[in-house]
Amino acid sequence: MRARAVVAGGAGFIGYTFVSRLLREGFDVVIVDNLATGTRRNINDLLQENHCEFVEHDICQPLAISGPVDYLVNLACPASPVDFSRIPVEIMRTCSEGTYNLLELALHKRAGFLHASTSEIYGDPEIHPQHEDYTGNVNIAGPRAVYDEGKRYAETLIHTYHREFDVPVHIARIFNTYGPRMRPDDGRVVSNFCIQALSGEPLTLYGDGQQTRSFCYVDDLVEGLFRVMLSEFSGPFNIGNIEEISMEELAEKVIELSGSASEIEHRPLLHPDDPKRRRPALDRIKETLGYEPTTDLTTGLTRTLDWFRQVVAEQ
């Protein structure tokens, strides 16, 4: 008998690669998405398969799915800092009411619950690298908090359903992820730099460019998510890559790998709370689940640039 997973947010960037993986592993999949930041086009090829169906639905509304469900996966949430000011209330509701509705469904179906949390719950971190026991430094009143505090609330709600109702839960804290099928206009740094470099436009470097991130290629992330989902552990587990780079170095790398003649243009920071450094401590997932990412930044960016080359050609 095939296992069946409901994937909320399955029409998004990470959702596409995660659902593809589930289908390859022999799962039946129901994608639930309101297409707020995902697209039908993203999943058209997946829906050609007999084992994948799509339900257009906003998870802020209660959800009914007929038949058995073994796993409920919550990837639904706009994740770009640009969206934090564009649709702040929708983000808070998706994290709170949306997660509640999915947990109720998991309880009703006796399904395991995998949740996409984020490194943003650490805020602008005072310790480096960030390990899972660090409680974070989020500015509650800042514009990023709609996402950060929403995700923190969701984690607490998930632990509560585990404690009170014995729902098997699994929390993954995802660090910056990149790769094919990123939304070209979502405003995140990798998509911006790739599109700008390939179009011969200046790369928009925010602030002094010395802030760092550690980027994880999407296939590596999905491998981690899959292991966390199948494990007996609640986590939380950081998933990411420890290769840390400043945004200035990233801009130079994208220019070099794309062979672009673009220059770098300094712009003000989008949000004053922009985290200054970010790198995951991966000891927990490595020791517990034997997980380590395998794609270095040069390889991953080369594949991502190949993808964006097609996108630019179609524009």
Chain residues binding ligand NAD by CB under 6 A are 8-9, 11-15, 33-38, 58-60, 75-79, 94, 98, 116, 118, 174, 176-177, 183
C-alpha neighbours within 13 Å on the C-beta side of residue 123: 21
Least separation, in Å, of the C-beta of 104 and ligand UDP? Answer: 29
**Catalytic site residue 161?**
no
Q: Which does 60 bind (CB under 5 to 8 A by kind): ligand NAD, ligand UDP, none?
A: ligand NAD
Q: Which does 204 bind (CB under 5 to 8 A by kind): ligand UDP, ligand NAD, none?
A: ligand UDP
Convert 224-236 into a string of H (helix), E (strand) and C (coil).
HHHHHHHCCCCCC
Is 247 among the residues that bind ligand UDP (CB under 6 A)?
Answer: yes
Structure tokens at 118: 């984020």
Least separation, in Å, of the C-beta of 141 and ligand UDP? Answer: 18
Backbone angles phi, psi at 35, to 5 degrees: 60, 30
Q: Which does 192 bind (CB under 5 to 8 A by kind): ligand UDP, ligand NAD, none?
A: ligand UDP
Residue 34: other Cβ atoms inside 10 A: 20
Question: With CB under 6 A as the contact rule, which of the stretches 29-37, 95-103, 201-209, 222-230 interacts with ligand UDP?
Answer: 201-209
Is 194 among the residues that bind ligand UDP (CB under 6 A)?
Answer: no
Q: Distance (Å, rounded) from C-alpha 85 to C-alpha 65?
A: 32
Contacts of residue 82, defined as CB under 8 A and 6 or more positions apart, other chains included, come to 186, 187, 188, 270
> Which is closer to ligand NAD, CB of 202 or CB of 276?
276
Instruction: Give strand ranges (E) for the chain.
Output: 4-8, 28-33, 52-56, 71-74, 112-118, 169-174, 177-178, 203-206, 212-214, 216-217, 237-239, 244-246, 264-267
Q: Which of 147, 178, 217, 291 is catalytic?
A: 147
Is 94 among the residues that bind ligand UDP (CB under 6 A)?
Answer: no
Q: Which does 213 bind (CB under 5 to 8 A by kind): ligand NAD, ligand UDP, none?
A: ligand UDP
Q: Distance (Å, rounded) from C-alpha 69 to C-alpha 182?
A: 28
Is 235 among the residues that bind ligand UDP (CB under 6 A)?
Answer: no
Candidates 269, 296, 306, 309; binder of ligand UDP (CB under 6 A) is: 269
Question: With CB under 6 A as the contact rule, which of the stretches 94-102, 158-166, 207-215, 226-234 interacts with ligand UDP?
Answer: 207-215
β-bridge partners, 123 = 137
Q: Distance (Å, rounded) from C-alpha 183 to C-alpha 37?
A: 8
What distance lies between CA 176 and its chain's CA centroid?
Answer: 7
Q: Distance (Å, rounded) from C-alpha 264 to C-alpha 204?
A: 6
Question: With CB under 6 A as the contact rule, which of the stretches 85-93, 95-103, 198-206, 256-264 interacts with ligand UDP?
Answer: 198-206
Least separation, in Å, of the C-beta of 186 and ligand UDP? Answer: 8
Residues near ligand UDP (CB under 6 A) are 81, 176, 188-189, 192, 204-207, 211, 213, 247, 269-270, 274
